[in-house]
Each structure stands twice: as structure tokens, then as C-alpha cells.
Amino acid sequence: MSDQRVAQTFAELADALVERFDTIEFLHVLAERSVELLPVNAAGILLADGQSALKLMAASSHLAHPLENLMPHSEDSPSEECVHSGRTVRCPDLRGQQRWPRFTAAAVELGFAAVDAVPMRSRDKAIGALTLFRTSPGALPSEAAALAQSFANVATISLLQVRATEQSEAVAEQLQAALMNRVVIEQAKGVLTERLEIDVADAFSLMRNYARNTGQLLSDVARLVNERSPEAAALTRVGTPRPRW
């Protein structure tokens, strides 16, 4: 694995994100770079559709057709398990594997002996998987596994960027909501500053700690303060802020 080639790959992928973006081409490049830079023989990128079924979006070119033949078995596979659990699924030896009988039989017939499915996570949800195949059994080295996760993260970022662009109105609404929340928080800081005779930084610290301790959003705590809600009484009775960290 060449560090220089890895750096060049990430630079290439980053450039693709800021130019005219072709999602499918981007994912195909990522699949092919996975084969080039990782000790694997084939790579496929699968995404969950609206019904949570996995669809093959891109594959390393020389084994694209064999991977497409595996897709009818994706409902019972390492990729499906990976997306469902949000965790990497590793199978260093498919021979005799009983967890995914239909997938395993099809994969072995195509000449694959090991597979790793790496989640493409957006927050707590996996939107797809980077699935890596090897024709020889054995575990993927830890360094390669870490790079594979980085590739999966890059794929996720690229897709989220496209979705954000396509949903610019929703993004604008989210930005406006964030700005409005900021105003609410500033107002609440003023209320606490006056009521408790503390400075602005301590007022903000009080709200942050209260939000963390009660599992609430900071903006929701600020609204309670502004509304003089009884729920905020525990916060406003505190004369000295708790530690910030």
C-alpha cells in the first residue's frame, strides 16, 4: 500500500466533490481504488433504497458482472447485515459459512473465499456498505481495514453532499432554524444574566450543562428559560454554574 498513492486518491476524490459531480462515476472510481490500494480482488458499493433493499451502485470494473450476479442474494448477506447493524461484518473464510447460505454458495461459486462489509454511516444510520471480496481466505489487515472505513466515509460524504444540493430548500430551512435557535439562546442568556446576576459566559454554561444533564436540546432549554417555564426552575435556582467540561 503506497502512502503517496493513498494521498493522491483522497486528493482526487476531494477534487471530484467540488467540481461538477457525477455520483455513479465517483462511486465507481472509489470501488476501483479500493481494489488498487487494498489487498482485495473486487469491491462493490451498495446503497439502501427507500424500502431498505440493497442496490449495487458501483463495482470494480473487472469483476462488475460477477458482483451483479450476487445481488439476488443480497437480502441475506454480509452487506445486508452490515447495513442493518451499522457495524463492519468480516468473514475471513466463506467455506463452510452458515450465516448466509444462499449468498455464500453464490460467492464461492464465483471464486470468492472471504468478504468484508464496511458500513457507510450517516450519524447512527448506515445508508449503504462498501463490500470487499477476496479470492483467498484470510483476515483483512488492520491497516487495510482502517483505510476501507475511510473510503466508506468518503463515499457517504459525497452522497450527503449530493442530497444536500438536491434538497437546497430543506438545507435553507435548516439554516434558518439554526439562526432562529441562536436568537432564542441569546435571549435566554440575557434572562439568566439579569435574573442570577452572572455574566453571559456563565449563563451559557448553565444552559449547556442543564441540557446535557437532562438530555434536551440547548435551544429547547433556552425556550424554557425565555418562557419562565417551571421546568427551568432547577436551572435558575443555581447561583454558581457547574464545570463546563
Which of 166, 197, 217 delimits the end of a domain? Answer: 166
121-125 long-range Cβ contacts below 8 angstroms, 24+ apart: 121/86, 121/152, 121/153, 121/156, 122/156, 122/160, 124/86, 125/86
- Are both 195 and 181 inside the same structural domain? yes
Q: Burial code of 206-226, b = ≥16 C-beta within 10 A, e = fewer?
A: bbbbbbeeeebebbebbbbbe
Whether the predicted pLDDT of 16 surpasses 80: no
In a domain, 242, yes or no: no
In a domain, 245, yes or no: no
Name the residue with higher pLDDT: 61 or 199. Answer: 199
Angle at 20 between CA 167 and CA 153, to 5 degrees: 70
Read off the pLDDT of residues 41-51 as tens digits, 9 standing for 90 and up. 999 988 887 66
Of the listed ranges 27-31, 82-86, 157-161, the one predicted with least confidence:
157-161
- Are both 46 and 91 inside the same structural domain? yes
CATH at 127 = 3.30.450.40
CA distance 218 to 17: 32
In a domain, 221, yes or no: yes
Where do we find the cell 460524504? 157
Give the pLDDT of residue 174: 56
Q: What is the mean pLDDT of the chain?
A: 80
In a domain, 107, yes or no: yes
User: Average pLDDT in the 208-237 region?
Assistant: 84
Whether the predicted pLDDT of 188 surpasses 80: yes
- Are both 34 and 67 inside the same structural domain? yes
Nearest Cα neighbor of 86 from 13, 164, 154, 149 is 149
Q: Are 196 and 239 in contact (CB under 8 A)?
A: yes
Whether the predicted pLDDT of 84 surpasses 80: yes
Query: Residue 48 has which C-alpha cell?
Result: 439502501
Give the pLDDT of residue 133: 94
Domain that holds residue 162: 3-166
User: Average pLDDT in the 24-32 region?
Assistant: 79
- Are both 177 and 146 inside the same structural domain? no
Give the pLDDT of residue 244: 35
- Are both 132 and 143 inside the same structural domain? yes
Q: Burial code of 35-59, b = ≥16 C-beta within 10 A, e = fewer?
A: bebbebbbbbbbbbeeeeebebbbb
Of the listed ranges 3-12, 138-147, 193-202, the one predicted with least confidence:
3-12
- Are both 162 and 173 inside the same structural domain? no
Which of 166, 187, 216 delimits the end of a domain? Answer: 166
Give the pLDDT of residue 23: 72
Q: Are 131 and 56 in contact (CB under 8 A)?
A: no
| Count of structural domains, the chain | 2
CA distance 26 to 15: 11
In a domain, 244, yes or no: no
In a domain, 140, yes or no: yes
In a domain, 26, yes or no: yes
Whether the predicted pLDDT of 117 surpasses 90: yes
**DSSP H helical segments within 125-217, as ranges?**
142-166, 168-196, 200-214
Give the pLDDT of residue 204: 85
Whether the predicted pLDDT of 1 surpasses 60: no
- Are both 67 and 147 inside the same structural domain? yes
Read off the pLDDT of residues 124-167 as tens digits, 9 standing for 90 and up. 788 889 999 999 999 999 999 999 998 898 888 777 765 555 55
Whether the predicted pLDDT of 119 surpasses 90: yes
Name the residue with higher pLDDT: 157 or 80. Answer: 80
In a domain, 38, yes or no: yes
Name the residue with higher pLDDT: 241 or 95. Answer: 95
Which of 108, 140, 166 delimits the end of a domain? Answer: 166
